[in-house]
Chains A and B, each alone.
Chain A
Amino acid sequence: ETGVTQSPTHLIKTRGQQVTLRCSSQSGHNTVSWYQQALGQGPQFIFQYYREEENGRGNFPPRFSGLQFPNYSSELNVNALELDDSALYLCASSKDKGADSPLHFGNGTRLTVT
């Protein structure tokens, strides 16, 4: 059983640029969630996608957007990058969208904005 995989593992961007991060969900999972983990902090919920639709969003501005594809893989897009966007971005998949469905996390993408 393949776990959650994220790409790339590391990325360096310049302020104002745009970035796309990718996530392949675990086999049999139809829900993907994205979290931002700043250095020394706990992860913060960005949004969740269930069967290709966003069904929950945290306190992040609209320049954070996402997609989920028919195979349930997902992308996180961030426009107009700011220095504070530097963080580890974690993707997690689950069998269903509810809170009773355990999350399986990938190893993350480390984004550095200079």
Chain B
Amino acid sequence: GDSVTQMEGPVTLSEEAFLTINCTYTATGYPSLFWYVQYPGEGLQLLLKATKADDKGSNKGFEATYRKETTSFHLEKGSVQVSDSAVYFCALIFSGGYNKLIFGAGTRLAVHP
């Protein structure tokens, strides 16, 4: 079945370090891809998305490119801040009848000053 695999956390970085969180997917078609972020005690917030191959989603300094050939959607940020500490979820969805997101297990990011 369709699934999303993320790198295991926690990822621990110093402030201003470069961030990469790997995400790969298995899908029978061509889904839209998302990154969501969950801050402590809060629900999920959409961080960025890409709807077709080679699209690049970006928001708040984060970027991810939809790579069909490698079925990947890796999240990157050039310089992380303490405030970026959260759990990051990669997810996919198919166009069609209803709005069912399939999530990865999440990757916890901890950024230290």
B46 — which chain A residues lie within 8 A by C-beta?
102-103
Of A41, A56, A94, A107, which is within 8 A of B97 by CB? A56
Query: A90 to B38, alpha carbons, bound, how many Å?
Result: 12
Question: Binding site of B, secondary structure by majority: helix, strand, loop or mixed?
Answer: loop
Known: A42-B89, A43-B101. A90 touches B44 (CB 8 A): yes
How far is B98's CA from A97's CA once the two chains are assembled, in angstroms? Answer: 5
Q: Is B100 an interface residue (CB 8 A)?
A: yes
Neighbour of A105 across the interface among B43, B93, B97, B100, CB < 8 A: B43
Interface centre among B100, B103, B104 (most CB of A within 10 A): B100
Say yes or no: A99-B94 contact (C-beta < 8 A), given A42-B89, A105-B43: yes
CA distance in complex: A102, B35 (Å): 12
Q: Beyond A41-B105, A99-B93, A99-B95, is A107–B43 a contact (Cβ under 8 Å)?
A: yes
Q: Is the interface of A mostly helix, strand, loop or mixed?
A: loop
For the complex, give the distance between the alpha carbons of A4 and B42 in Å.
12
CA distance A43 to B43 in the complex (A): 11
Q: How far is B92's CA from A15's CA once the two chains are assembled, in angstroms?
A: 33
Binding site for A on B (CB under 8 A): 4, 32, 41-46, 89, 91, 93-106
Q: Contact residues of A with B, CB < 8 Å?
A: 4, 31, 33, 35, 40-45, 48, 50, 55-56, 58, 90, 92, 94, 97-103, 105-108
